[in-house]
Amino acid sequence: MVEPFRVDITVRGYELDTQGHLNQAVYLQYCEHARWECLRAAGITQESLLASGVGPAALENTIRFHRELRGGDEVTVSCAWQWGGGKTFRLRQEITRVDGALAAELTGVAGLLDLAERRLVPDPAARLRALATDPDLLDL
């Protein structure tokens, strides 16, 4: 198992709700951003996915909130991939403040959708491994 990929983000004022906290939907956007950045760092772009006829499909996301975030807070968003033997894989992500406090954690289930057939591909790990220039970032 490799160290989770990480990306730093600063909470922006326009992402706050009326109480001055980071809006709940933005936590999911931060996690999505970290996943795409991880794929990009591994050598997989949106264009290369489309050219190969597949695209990521989120099937389930659960976010557990631990600490509030406010404008200007600096956070690190991690992304760890967990592979099984089927059509789906799991993701584990944490949003951590600079002081080390866990702000939120996301667990998710996803797959790769065959864009022509509109069905999940049988072995998403193999498809991503074939596209990646650095598959270790995806724990492949």
Enzyme catalytic residues: 17
- The contacts of residue 50 (CB under 8 Å, 6+ apart) are 115
**Calpha distance 42→129 (Å, rounded):** 9
Strand partners, 129: none
Instruction: Determine the Cα–Cα distance for residues 117 and 67; give it in Å rounded to an integer.
Output: 42
